[in-house]
């Protein structure tokens, strides 16, 4: 089969590396890809948020048998619907299901209606009403812009002044654009966090190995929120008991709730969860693979990823045995100085002599005059497996030191978090 993968980050490089191993996959196209992806796929320079343009390209390329849509924007814009309406096979939720990520107000209402555990909240479109409410709620309080904001539309406010300032920025100053037209004001939860992803065809849901992200830019979870600075898997505190609770109280109820709403979800459903003293609660849903979670999850997948993608599209996921390796995997993100705020691009990257079992996932890289240069905030994911998280971590850090580019920075504490949390 010939497959088109939509996206250009580390996550897409991880997906493409897994697809390249599949005996079912012949040729891979990547729209738009990056310098690492170019080694495995033919790059296609079409704006993937222009769903009609993508549809036209696929129509014109009769050798493409299957499209995988990974980023949130084209999913929310209805790229899967567009491709299906033209008779093409595509992996990912339709627009009416991708709303589970695209609107926090929608996902909070869904959880309330179907008794899926989550933080208590109120939603506001009116600034004055939100302002009055924030004056009465417990501190810390969490503010979330309703729409997609690249993982940056969430403010954890530790004082009432900070909360009022944040509200003003979101609703009046439009710091996150139209994403802030509606704001969710939410109770602050405490506990370890886990990214629990699952494949689902709307009838069956099969969990992936769990992982933990590090969203803040700096060590000890300080600094600004980012798309993710590193991940490890599996989450040490997530054993069989957790898996059972999350399946029964969160994963299955969510799949059934989306069916009941006439919004059957097919694709990857990502549950961002917190293990609170009252059990697991949903912090967020994503309608896609996580980034950089995917960079640690897919290297642990024993099953052919293409076989899973096809089974989801054909609604026969129950027939596939999704299996995972033992051991652990760690991914460390090497970022451009200044990220997640302003940073420079076009810096040459030198790779050194990396261990053969280290896998690089390119995120913000491009080729220029035969050299590989930076082209984004998150530049590379350095990934390695090991018998346990500590072994994988050592390997990742030893190899990260060999890579360099002007302004490069990374967190020094990926994989340490939750070391002391009780194992299940």
Complex with ligand AMP: residue 56 or 193, whichever CB lies closer: 193
Residue 67 CB, shortest distance to ligand GLY, in Å, is: 20
Residue 75 CB, shortest distance to ligand GLY, in Å, is: 13
399 binds, among ligand GLY, ligand AMP, none (CB under 5 to 8 A by kind): none
Position 9 contacts ligand GLY (CB under 6 A): no
Exactly one of 213, 266, 360, 400 binds ligand GLY (CB under 6 A); that residue is 213
Position 151 contacts ligand AMP (CB under 6 A): yes
Complex with ligand AMP: residue 189 or 297, whichever CB lies closer: 189
User: Residue 39's closest CA among 18, 6, 13?
Assistant: 13
Residues that contact ligand GLY, how many (by CB under 6 A): 7
Question: Residues 149 to 178: which contact ligand GLY by CB under 6 A?
Answer: 151
Number of other residues whose CB lies within 10 A of the CB of residue 27: 13
Contact string 91-130 vs ligand AMP (x = CB under 6 A): ----------------------------x-----------
Which listed range, 4-12, 94-102, 150-158, 325-333, lies at the site for ligand AMP (CB under 6 A)? 150-158
- The gap from C-alpha 155 to its chain's centroid, in whole angstroms, comes to 19
Position 12 contacts ligand GLY (CB under 6 A): no
Residue 199 CB, shortest distance to ligand GLY, in Å, is: 16
Which listed range, 184-192, 304-312, 334-342, 388-396, lies at the site for ligand AMP (CB under 6 A)? 184-192
Complex with ligand AMP: residue 12 or 186, whichever CB lies closer: 186
398 binds, among ligand GLY, ligand AMP, none (CB under 5 to 8 A by kind): none
Complex with ligand GLY: residue 88 or 275, whichever CB lies closer: 275
Residue 193 CB, shortest distance to ligand GLY, in Å, is: 10
- Asked if 27 and 2 touch (Cβ cutoff 8 Å), the reply is yes
Complex with ligand AMP: residue 271 or 410, whichever CB lies closer: 271
Residue 65: both structure tokens together: 């048998």
Q: Say what the alpha-carbon torsion angle 168, 170, 171, 173 is, to the nearest 10 degrees.
A: 70
Position 291 contacts ligand GLY (CB under 6 A): yes
154 binds, among ligand AMP, ligand GLY, none (CB under 5 to 8 A by kind): ligand AMP
- Which residue matches tokens 């769903």? 51
Position 228 contacts ligand GLY (CB under 6 A): yes
Complex with ligand AMP: residue 31 or 134, whichever CB lies closer: 134
CA–CA dist 59, 205 (Å, integer): 31
CA–CA dist 259, 402 (Å, integer): 49
User: Residue 210's closest CA among 257, 186, 245, 259?
Assistant: 245
290 binds, among ligand GLY, ligand AMP, none (CB under 5 to 8 A by kind): ligand GLY
Cis before 332 (ω within 30): no
Strands of the 66-69 sheet, one edge to the other: 42-43, 27-32, 2-7, 66-69, 90-91
Exactly one of 82, 186, 293, 310 binds ligand AMP (CB under 6 A); that residue is 186
Q: What does each C-alpha distance from 283 to 104, 187, 223, 272, 286 come to in angstroms?
A: 10, 10, 20, 5, 10
Contact string 187-216 vs ligand AMP (x = CB under 6 A): xxx---x---------------------x-
Complex with ligand GLY: residue 111 or 134, whichever CB lies closer: 111
Complex with ligand GLY: residue 204 or 295, whichever CB lies closer: 295
Sign of the CA dihedral with 223 first, then 225, 226, and 230 last: positive
Residue 274 CB, shortest distance to ligand AMP, in Å, is: 7
Complex with ligand AMP: residue 155 or 334, whichever CB lies closer: 155
Q: Where does this chain bind ligand AMP (CB under 6 A)?
A: 119, 142, 151, 154, 156, 186-189, 193, 215, 225, 272, 283-284
Q: Where does this chain bind ligand GLY (CB under 6 A)?
A: 151, 213, 228, 286, 290-291, 293
């Amino acid at each position: 089969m010939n497959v088109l993968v939509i996206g250009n980050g580390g996550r897409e490089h991880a997906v493409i590396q897994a697809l390249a191993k599949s005996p079912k996959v012949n040729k891979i196209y990547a729209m738009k890809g990056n310098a690492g992806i170019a080694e495995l796929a033919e790059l296609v320079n079409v704006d993937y948020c222009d769903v009609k343009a993508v549809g036209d390209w696929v129509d014109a390329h009769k050798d493409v048998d299957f499209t995988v849509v990974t980023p949130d924007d084209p999913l929310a814009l209805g790229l899967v619907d567009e491709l299906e309406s033209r008779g093409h096979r595509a992996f990912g939720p339709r627009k009416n299901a991708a709303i589970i990520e695209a609107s926090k107000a929608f996902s909070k209402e869904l959880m309330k209606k179907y008794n899926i555990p989550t933080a208590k909240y109120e939603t506001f479109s009116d600034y004055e009403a939100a302002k009055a409410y924030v004056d009465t709620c417990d501190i810390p309080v969490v503010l979330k812009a309703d729409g997609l904001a690249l993982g940056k539309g969430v403010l954890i406010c530790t004082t009432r002044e900070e909360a009022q300032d944040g509200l003003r920025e979101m609703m009046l100053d439009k710091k996150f654009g139209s994403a802030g037209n509606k704001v969710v004001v939410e109770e602050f939860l405490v506990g370890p966090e886990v990214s629990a992803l699952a494949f689902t065809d709307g009838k069956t849901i099969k969990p992936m190995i769990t992982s933990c992200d590090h969203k803040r830019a700096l060590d000890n979870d300080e600094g600004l929120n980012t798309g993710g600075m590193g991940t490890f898997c599996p989450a040490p505190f997530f054993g069989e008991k957790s898996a059972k609770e999350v399946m029964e109280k969160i994963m299955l109820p969510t799949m059934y709730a989306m069916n009941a709403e006439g919004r059957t979800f097919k694709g990857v459903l990502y549950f961002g969860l917190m293990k609170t003293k009252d059990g697991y609660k949903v912090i967020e849903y994503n309608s896609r693979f996580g980034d950089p979670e995917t960079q640690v999850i897919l290297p642990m997948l024993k099953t052919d990823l293409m076989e899973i993608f096809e089974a989801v599209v054909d609604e026969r996921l129950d027939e596939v045995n999704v299996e995972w390796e033992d051991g652990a995997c760690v991914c460390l993100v090497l970022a451009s100085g200044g990220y997640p705020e302003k940073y420079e691009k076009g810096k040459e990257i030198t790779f050194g002599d990396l261990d053969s079992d280290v896998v690089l996932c390119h995120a913000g890289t491009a080729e220029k005059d035969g050299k590989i240069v930076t082209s984004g905030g998150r530049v590379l994911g350095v990934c390695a497996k090991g018998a346990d998280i500590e072994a994988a971590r050592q390997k990742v850090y030893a190899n990260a030191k060999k890579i360099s580019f002007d302004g490069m920075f990374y967190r020094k504490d990926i994989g340490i978090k939750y070391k002391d949390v009780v194992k299940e």
